C-alpha cells in the first residue's frame, strides 16, 4: 500500500517536495559525438560537469561515438553531433549542437526553471 502524502500548502513546501522527488530520480542520458575532436571533447566535458554538479549519483550517462556505432545513431535518428538525449525522466528531450550553454541544458533537463 502506497504512503499517502499530505497536501502541499505553500510555495516553499512545493519546492521542497519537487527537490525531494528530483533527488530520487535517475536521469538516463545519451550523448552522441562524432569522433574525437575539440567539439566532441568540449561537449563531453560540459555534460559531465553538469551531471556531477547537479545530478550527483542520480544519472546514467552513455557516450556514443556515431563513427564507431552508426547503428545506434540511425536508430535514434541522430542528424547532427553532438546531440544529447534525455531518455528519463520523461519527457524525452534532445539538445543539438553547442552543449556548453549550461543554463540552456539545465532548463531543458528541468533542473532550473525557465526565466
* pTM to 2 decimal places: 0.78
Q: 23-80, pLDDT tens digit by residue? A: 678 999 999 999 999 999 999 999 999 999 999 999 999 999 999 999 999 999 999 9
Q: What pLDDT does residue 12 have? A: 72
**CA 21 to CA 107: how far, in whole Å?**
17
Looking at domain 26-108, its CATH architecture is 3-Layer(aba) Sandwich (3.40)
**CA 47 to CA 95: how far, in whole Å?**
11
CB atoms within 10 A of CB 38: 7
DSSP state of 81: S
Cα-based torsion angle of the residue sequence 88, 81, 47, 19 in order, rounded to the nearest 10 degrees: -30
**CA 85 to CA 45: how far, in whole Å?**
16
Q: What pLDDT does residue 107 have? A: 92
**Distances in Å between the alpha carbon of 61 and those of 4, 69, 71, 73, 92?**
33, 16, 19, 16, 15
CB 85 within 8 A of CB 94: yes
Q: Which residue has the higher pLDDT, 114 or 98?
A: 98
**Distances in Å between the alpha carbon of 48 and those of 41, 59, 102?**
11, 10, 11
Amino acid at each position: 500500500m502506497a504512503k499517502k502524502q499530505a497536501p502541499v500548502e505553500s510555495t516553499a513546501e512545493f519546492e521542497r517536495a519537487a527537490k525531494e522527488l528530483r533527488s530520487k530520480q535517475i536521469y538516463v542520458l545519451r550523448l552522441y559525438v562524432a569522433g574525437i575532436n575539440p567539439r566532441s571533447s568540449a561537449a563531453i566535458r560540459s555534460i559531465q560537469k553538469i551531471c556531477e554538479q547537479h545530478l550527483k549519483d542520480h544519472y546514467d550517462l552513455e557516450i556514443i561515438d556515431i563513427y564507431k556505432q552508426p547503428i545506434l545513431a540511425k536508430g535514434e535518428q541522430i542528424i547532427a553531433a553532438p546531440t544529447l538525449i534525455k531518455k528519463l525522466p520523461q519527457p524525452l528531450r534532445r539538445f543539438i549542437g553547442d552543449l556548453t550553454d549550461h543554463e540552456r541544458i539545465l532548463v531543458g533537463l528541468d533542473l532550473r526553471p525557465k526565466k
